[in-house]
C-alpha cells in the first residue's frame, strides 16, 4: 500500500474537484479525519486542498490496485468510474463506497426533491427552487447544478432541490423518502456506459426509497420499474389523466393543466420552446408533490426566463434570432431544442453543432435536421465524423472554429430564421466548458450586431 496513505485515517476522498472539496468540508465539520487521492498529477483544486487541509495526506497519480484496501470508507467523486481497478478491488474487500449524495441524504433534515434526466434537469431544478422561494420557503438548490449539495446543508432550510447526474446516482441505494423525478432518458455518456441499458439503470436509482415519483408519460424509459407502493404522478405534452399534468386545448388556446383543470396559457410562459413547456409541467408536478403554493408556482412560470446557455435568447440581427444552447451537450438536448424552435411548414433553423461526441450515435439527429434545419454548421474535434453520419439530411458545412460557424450561419440566414447553437457535444476540445463556449458564441453574435 502507498506509504502516504497508510495512516490511521479510515476514510478516503477520491477526486480533488468541487465535489471532493465539499466532502472534505463536510467531514471536517463533523470531526471525521480523511485523506485525499486523485489519479491526476495536477488536479484543479490541489492548491486549495493543501491550503485548507495542510495536515491531510494527498496521493496523486494513477491508482494502484491496492490503494484503498486499508480504508473502511471511500467517498467517490462522480467523475471517477466504478470500473477503476482500485475501486473494484475495494468493493471485493467490502470497503464501503459512497458518493456525496448518500452523505447528503443521511444528514438533510428537510424534505428533499431529487431531479435527473438526460435533458432539462438544470432548468427544472432552478425553476422548482424559485417556486419554493416564491412560496415563502428557505430552500437549498444545487447538486450537479451549481453549489455542491453538502455545502447546502443548513438546519434552517425547509426544502432542498437537488439535480443529480447519472454518475452521482451510481452508488445510491436509498433516497430516504425523497420526491424523485426522471424527466427523460436519451443516450448520453456512452463513453462511460456500456450501453443505454446501463445508463438507464443508473438513472433509475433515483426512485429507490422515494416517497413520491414523478415521470414523463411520453418517455417510456422514465416509467418507474419499482413494485413498491409509492405515490406516482406523471407529466406530458398531451391531455392528462386526473391527478396528472399536461396540456388542454380550450377555445383555440393551449393551457397547462392539472387533470381537467386549466392552470395557465402556455403563451404566458416566460420560457420559450415546446420542450420548456414540458419542463414547466415537470416543475409543477414536483412543486405540488413538495406542497408548494400553486398560485406562487404559476406566477414564477410567467417570470422565469431560464438558465444561461440553455436556449438563451441572445439577439435579433437583421430579422434573424440567435439562441445560445451551449448547455446542450448531448443529442437528446439538441433534438429537444430543434423540436422546440422548429416550424412545421419550413426549414427555419441554422444549427451550429460539434465538439467532442462522447461516443454518441448521431443518427437520431437525422429526422429533425431534415424537417427543420436549412444548414448544419459543424466545428470541433468530431465535426467530420458527424458530417459523414448526417450526410444527405440537409446542407452541411464543416468549419475550423465557432467564429467561422457563426459567420457561415449569418451568410445563409434570412429574416425570420433562427441561428441555434446547440452542439450535441462536449466542449473540452476547444473550451474550458459549455459556459466559455456559450460566451464566445454570444460575443460573436454581439460583433455581428455591431
**Among all residues, which ones are annotated catalytic?**
121, 144, 189
**Angstrom distance (rounded) from CA 318 to CA 234:** 42
Describe the chain by its helix, strand, coil percentages, rounded to 5: 35, 20, 45
- How many Cα atoms within 13 Å fall on the side-chain side of residue 268? 14
Residue 118, marked binder: yes
Residue 244, marked binder: no
What's the angle, vertex CA 388, arms to CA 382 and CA 391, rounded to 5?
A: 130
Contact 1, 67 (CB under 8 A): yes
Contact 23, 103 (CB under 8 A): yes
How many residues in the chain?
A: 450
Burial class of 417 by CB neighbour count within 10 A (0 to 12, 13 to 18, 19+): buried
Return the H-helix or E-strand segment holding 125: helix 121-134
Q: What is the CA radius of gyration of the chain?
A: 23
Residue 361, marked binder: no
Residue 7, marked binder: no
Nearest Cα neighbor of 125 from 163, 87, 91 is: 163
SS3 category, 68? coil
Residue 122, marked binder: yes
Please give the DSSP secondary-structure letter assigned to residue 91. H
Provide the sign of the torsion angle of the four alpha carbons 322, 337, 204, 193, taken in this order. negative
CA distances to 34, 195, 231 from 226, rounded to whole Å, are 36, 21, 12
Return the H-helix or E-strand segment holding 448: helix 434-449
Could you tell me which residues are annotated as the binding site? 117-123
Could you tell me which residues are annotated as the binding site for ATP? 117-123
Amino acid at each position: 500500500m502507498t506509504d502516504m496513505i497508510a495512516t490511521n485515517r479510515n476514510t478516503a476522498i477520491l477526486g480533488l474537484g468541487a465535489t471532493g472539496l465539499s466532502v472534505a468540508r463536510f467531514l471536517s465539520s463533523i470531526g471525521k479525519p480523511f485523506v485525499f487521492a486523485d489519479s491526476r498529477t495536477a488536479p484543479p483544486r490541489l492548491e486549495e486542498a493543501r491550503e485548507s487541509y495542510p495536515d491531510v495526506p494527498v496521493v496523486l497519480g494513477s491508482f494502484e490496485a491496492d490503494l484503498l484496501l486499508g480504508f473502511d470508507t471511500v467517498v467517490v467523486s462522480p467523475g471517477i468510474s466504478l470500473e477503476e481497478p482500485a475501486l473494484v478491488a475495494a468493493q471485493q474487500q467490502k470497503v464501503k463506497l459512497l458518493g456525496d449524495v448518500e452523505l447528503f441524504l443521511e444528514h438533510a433534515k428537510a424534505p428533499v426533491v431529487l431531479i435527473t434526466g438526460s435533458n432539462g434537469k438544470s432548468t427544472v431544478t432552478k425553476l422548482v427552487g424559485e417556486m419554493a422561494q416564491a412560496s415563502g420557503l428557505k430552500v437549498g438548490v444545487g447538486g450537479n447544478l451549481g453549489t455542491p449539495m453538502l455545502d447546502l446543508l443548513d438546519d434552517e432550510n425547509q426544502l432542498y432541490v437537488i439535480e443529480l447526474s447519472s454518475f452521482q446516482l451510481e452508488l445510491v441505494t436509498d433516497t430516504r423518502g425523497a420526491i424523485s423525478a426522471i424527466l427523460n432518458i436519451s443516450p448520453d455518456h456512452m463513453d462511460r456506459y456500456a450501453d443505454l441499458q446501463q445508463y438507464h439503470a443508473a438513472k433509475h436509482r433515483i426512485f429507490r426509497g422515494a416517497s413520491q415519483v414523478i415521470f414523463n408519460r411520453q418517455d417510456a424509459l422514465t416509467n418507474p420499474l419499482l413494485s413498491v407502493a409509492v405515490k406516482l404522478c406523471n407529466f406530458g405534452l398531451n391531455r392528462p389523466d386526473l391527478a396528472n399534468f399536461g396540456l388542454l386545448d380550450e377555445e383555440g388556446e393551449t393551457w397547462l393543466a392539472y387533470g381537467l383543470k386549466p392552470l395557465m396559457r402556455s403563451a404566458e410562459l416566460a420560457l420559450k420552446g415546446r420542450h420548456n413547456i414540458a419542463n414547466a409541467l415537470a416543475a409543477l408536478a414536483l412543486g405540488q408533490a413538495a406542497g408548494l403554493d400553486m398560485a406562487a408556482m404559476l406566477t414564477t412560470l410567467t417570470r422565469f426566463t431560464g438558465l444561461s446557455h440553455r436556449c438563451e435568447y441572445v439577439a435579433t440581427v437583421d430579422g434573424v434570432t440567435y439562441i445560445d444552447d451551449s448547455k446542450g451537450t448531448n443529442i437528446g438536448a439538441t433534438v429537444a431544442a430543434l423540436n422546440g424552435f422548429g416550424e412545421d411548414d419550413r426549414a427555419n433553423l441554422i444549427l451550429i453543432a460539434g465538439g467532442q461526441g462522447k461516443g454518441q450515435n448521431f443518427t437520431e439527429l437525422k429526422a429533425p435536421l431534415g424537417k427543420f434545419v436549412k444548414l448544419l454548421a459543424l466545428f470541433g474535434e468530431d465535426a467530420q465524423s458527424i458530417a459523414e453520419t448526417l450526410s444527405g439530411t440537409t446542407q452541411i458545412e464543416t468549419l475550423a472554429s465557432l467564429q467561422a460557424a457563426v459567420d457561415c450561419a449569418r451568410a445563409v440566414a434570412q429574416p425570420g430564421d433562427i441561428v441555434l447553437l446547440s452542439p450535441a457535444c462536449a466542449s473540452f476540445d476547444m473550451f474550458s466548458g459549455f459556459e466559455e463556449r456559450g460566451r464566445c458564441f454570444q460575443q460573436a453574435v454581439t460583433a455581428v450586431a455591431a
